[in-house]
Structure 1
Amino acid sequence: MEIYKGASAFAGIAIGKIQFYRKGEYQLRQHQADDIKTEQRNFDVARRHVMQTLKEEYDSAGISEAIEHQVLEQAELLGSGSFLRAVQSMISGEKVTAAYAVQTTRDELNGTFGNLKDPSIKERIHNVSRVSDLLLEILGKEEKKINLGEEPVILAADALSPAELMEMDKDKLLGIVTRKGSATSHTAILAKSMDIPCVTGVGIPASEEEWEDTVAIIDGYTGTLYLEPDREVRREYEIRRKADLVEREALLKLKDEKDITLDGKEVGIYANIGSLDDLNSALYYGARGIGLLRSEFQYLGRESYPGEEELFQAYKKTAQTMGDRLVVIRTADLGADKQAAYLEIPQETNPLMGNRGIRFCLDRKNLFKTQIRAIYRASWYGNLGMMYPMISEEEEMDAIEELIREVKAELSSEGIPFKNIRTGIMMETPAAVMIGEELARRVDFLGIGTNDLTQYTLAMDRQNPLLQKKYNDHHPAVVRMIKMIIDAGHKENCKVCLCGELAADTRLTETFLRMGVDALSVVPACILPVRKALRAARVKNEDE
């Protein structure tokens, strides 16, 4: 038996076989072809069809010289050159399907050269994308879901992105262990919302094959991984897992109880969710509403922007499912570690301090306006609120309010019904804290994002494993900033909700209640433990 220590990202116990996730290799294994000659013929047939299409375009009357040039360039890609050779080589050398070879070649070229400013390179990338799309219309696009196999596994990886985790079937995940990352990374937060025990910062050996298919135990309470546990340890953890289930059953008795302290103060407990799949969990555990819908996950794990209608249908379903309960949609917090290839986000030296959140959305106003329109359209079907991430100055609010006025005017002229929904600001930068009163005047409520607020206050990257022992989200400066936000909000008649990971820390529940927080929002799996702590707390001092 070997024992490895890491950091607990989410509590719980998992027992099962380890399966490694290796970027690239995993996708490759999924798209292995049974008959290489058939795949080569399929590609050749598709190539000839596309070349005929391009020839017809070129022969069309009235097209400009610039378009003629583009069509010729696209035809040349299929007649000879590196793109054609790369696809053919991948089919024969790696024994994959033609569609996968086309997609992968396109994505690799785009990833390597997509951010370069040279006009000729940008034109070539455009031509490769166009030809690839035409080929895939014939070959059919490959399924992007990551297949973990038939049996549930403990997934081990060097690192996982939120997008990759979203492409996995959570029913096939017993637990997660990673070499990189931290307990407060976005991937760890997503694992928590999926109710999956997770340990990060584990010293996985370079010879990963030693671990493949071996039985392991994840102790998500202590951040410990047991590899090939002996009979005594396995028996102990089997008992602990059963006790864990019994404790959860006991907590379930609280799901219909009120969120009220021993001395009569009512404080709502809401749910943080990342997808529609989490709605049922939120209702099951008795959430008062959705305090934070992380809408950026609708933009991940896909190849193109979601359209207004797609977003509208998702928000409408959420609003209808929750009925009269409040649903707060945080507008897309993209950037940093939440990226997708089609977003074409330029590389940054320090992305956590870069063009992310509201900065990114105000730079991509079409993306932002599309989302705002979808939210306002869906508001007619329930009780929606909208909250903006990473605000640091009032000028950002000026730009947002102008866009909202534009959206409302358009919807009114189109005869589309909507409600005047409540709006809020995610308070997660020290700058926002220092102008808390000014910002509170602009909105109906404030949400406290303790994850980013902590790392920006401490000037520590929360995902840096070297800082795990130094990263202190209980730091007095962080606690004081939370109090400052609550006081600023209340002074301007704003409700204040604590919706970062710290909201689920039951050691601080009574402290936050005494500070005057109006609501707590946590992942569904943490609702009942927080409710238990809240119902055992006293807000007033004994002599009051």
Structure 2
Amino acid sequence: VYSRSKESNPTINIDTPLTKQRQFVLSDEEIITLAQWASVIEKHYQKPMDIEWAKDGLTNELYIIQARPETVHQSKNKKLHIQYKLQEKGKVLTSGNAVGSKIKVGIPCLLQSPKEGKNLTTEHIIVTDTITPDWDPLLKQIGGIITNKGGRTSHAAIVARELGVPAIVGCHNATAIIEDGEMITLSCSEGKTGYVYDGKLLFKEEEIDFSNIRMPHTEVKMILADPENAFQLSLYPNDGVGLLRMEFIITHSVKVHPMALVKFNKLKNATVIQQINKLTQGYTNKQDYFIDQLSQGIATIAAAFYPKEVIVRLSDFKTNEYANLIGGKDFEPKEENPMLGFRGASRYYNNLYKEGFALECAAIKKVRDTMGLDNLKVMVPFCRTLEEGKKVVAIMEENGLKRGEKGLEIYTMVEIPSNVILAEEFAKIFDGFSIGSNDLTQLTLGIDRDSELMGQLFDENDPAAKKMIAMAIASARKTNTKIGLCGQAPSDFPEFASFLVKEGINSISFNPDALLQGIENINRAEKGFVTFGQSASSN
């Protein structure tokens, strides 16, 4: 802190007291004031402005001290997309499932745990056996991912797509073949299979102009999780966000298990208490920390796409994933099969998590009511029964999220056979459906989608899986309920997109790396159906 003085030395340096260091620089009201002023200034000049402000240390008054045209980002044409293509061939070290479409030349780092990942940069490519949620913070600072285990729907693949980091998963022998520190080329530009090449290969980047892309009649939405990329991705051709995964925000921004904040005074682990105290500095109520961090992340994405629809899915961690959050081990049961255990809707009304769920609701209510982002809708995952659906809707209302109030719509995922069989009854409880093709295929075929041994049998194109999807769409159309699908299959398989269009689905949501291919596949499918106008009448 610097202070003006009338003595010979006009400026003196004063150490900032610890209490001041732990205070927020601005209050919520002051932030809103500055935002309103910025809007007025940009409206006046009719262009993006670079605005500087100051706060008087004595009177606490806010001042605008400078406003000039913003030039750093305006020069970038954000309507352009980069496509990658290899210019030469090389020795293939290993291969697996490609995630994304990028090419990355970098230095491989063989790791057994995220704790070993020190001083990594975007020039490094992580090579490891498998990726779990506790790796997520490390993945934001590296250039690529290669794993032995995992398929297209594994955690490594999902997070890599959201971060825009190229990855190759399910290589089986990556850690045995790739040598630590030797330059490699990671290529995800050659279709479903990704290849790891020895050495540095030449490649080119081709720009695609988004303004030339024709949008189909079927709504094309995005699957997002990382707020940092939201405004850039909002410029891609899209009709909104069909799935906002809040788990990413909780893992990266909150980091703490919500029940550890609710029951903070009962915690025994000194290390956990210290970690939480450090993260929650400035908050007199530690639960407010969760609400603030989660609401800010969700609001960033909702604001980026406003006024387009943004559907946020309530937390869908498995118990083993929740346990990896700070303080989580004290509040999570150990399960033999977390994929089919205490997850989704079943948690929200259970005493083990009910108070934590209240914080999720408070964050969403803050985004909609306080921040005014009424384009945000809510989706309930893994809702097993009709009674469970009613319980969740009721407890949401208890927590200030009443279905229909201020236009609030509540959707549910269709990812369990019971959701399909009783779709017409579920339509009376919820405003819309979103088919989760990964879980629905898993539960229809009885295959663990993360299993290496059974991975070859996991196929969204299986007749049984497609029959379930067709039944769900038919029931939704019968009850005039909006229905979409979130998954990779419509971009990977043109025939799958054709199937969905023929059945009359309202929307399809894609990860950003698959969006353009998905649009192309839908356009091709719609062109092939002369009766499409009838199929799409509910859009």
Output the TM-score relative to the length of structure 2.
0.68
More helix by share: 1
- SS of the equivalent of 2:127 reads strand
**1:20 aligned partner:** 110
Tell whether the 8 Å contact from 1:335 to 1:360 is kept in structure 2 after alignment: no
Equivalent in 346, 349, 369 of residue 362 of structure 1: 349
Instruction: Indicate yes or no: 2:198 matched with 1:228.
Output: yes
Distance 1:219 1:401, change over 3 A: same
C-alpha distance in 1, partners of 2:521/2:211?
14
Deviations 1:483-528 (A, max 9, x none): 1111111111111111122243351222211110101111122222
C-alpha distance in 2, partners of 1:486/1:2?
43
**1:384 aligned partner:** 376
**1:3 aligned partner:** 93
For structure 2, which runs of at least 5 residues remain unmatched after alignment?
1-90, 259-288, 533-539
C-alpha displacement of 1:369: 1.7
- The 5 A counterparts of 1:183-222 are 183-204=152-173, 211-220=179-188, 221=191
C-alpha displacement of 1:215: 1.5
C-alpha displacement of 1:25: 4.9
C-alpha displacement of 1:377: 2.7
C-alpha distance in 1, partners of 2:430/2:420?
15
- The 5 A counterparts of 1:237-248 are 238=202, 241-242=203-204, 245-246=205-206
Instruction: Indicate yes or no: 2:499 matched with 1:514.
Output: no
Tell whether the 8 Å contact from 2:427 to 2:476 is kept in structure 1 after alignment: yes
Deviations 1:34-85 (A, max 9, x none): xxxxxxxxxxxxxxxxxxxxxxxxxxxxxxxxxxxxxxxxxxxxxxxxxxxx
More strand by share: 2
Q: Percent identity?
A: 24
Larger RCO (alpha carbons 8 Å, 6+ apart): 1
For structure 1, which runs of at least 5 residues remain unmatched after alignment?
31-146, 261-265, 412-417
C-alpha distance in 2, partners of 1:511/1:473?
11
Tell whether the 8 Å contact from 1:9 to 1:184 is kept in structure 2 after alignment: no
Give the residue type in structure 1 aligned to 2:484: C
- The 5 A counterparts of 1:318-329 are 318-329=301-312
C-alpha displacement of 1:348: 1.1
**1:179 aligned partner:** 148
C-alpha distance in 1, partners of 2:302/2:96?
39
C-alpha distance in 1, partners of 2:399/2:192?
49
C-alpha distance in 2, partners of 1:338/1:437?
33
- SS of the equivalent of 1:177 reads strand
C-alpha distance in 2, partners of 1:433/1:155?
40
Equivalent in 517, 521, 537 of residue 533 of structure 1: 521
- The 5 A counterparts of 1:286-301 are 286-301=237-252
Distance 1:24 1:430, change over 3 A: same
Tell whether the 8 Å contact from 1:16 to 1:217 is kept in structure 2 after alignment: yes
C-alpha displacement of 1:227: 4.8
Distance 1:514 1:15, change over 3 A: same
C-alpha distance in 1, partners of 2:125/2:338?
30
C-alpha displacement of 1:222: 5.2
Deviations 1:146-192 (A, max 9, x none): x414x52221111111341344325x31x211012222113211212
C-alpha distance in 2, partners of 1:538/1:378?
36
Distance 1:428 1:212, change over 3 A: same
- SS of the equivalent of 1:291 reads strand
**2:208 aligned partner:** 250
Instruction: Mark the structure with the bigger radius of gyration.
Output: 1
C-alpha distance in 1, partners of 2:449/2:319?
12
Q: How many residues of Structure 1 are paired with residues of Structure 2 in the alignment? A: 396
Higher deviation after alignment, 304-313 or 496-505: 304-313
C-alpha displacement of 1:253: 4.1
Equivalent in 215, 220, 223 of residue 259 of structure 1: 215
Give the residue type in structure 1 aligned to 2:129: D
Equivalent in 130, 133, 156 of residue 162 of structure 1: 133
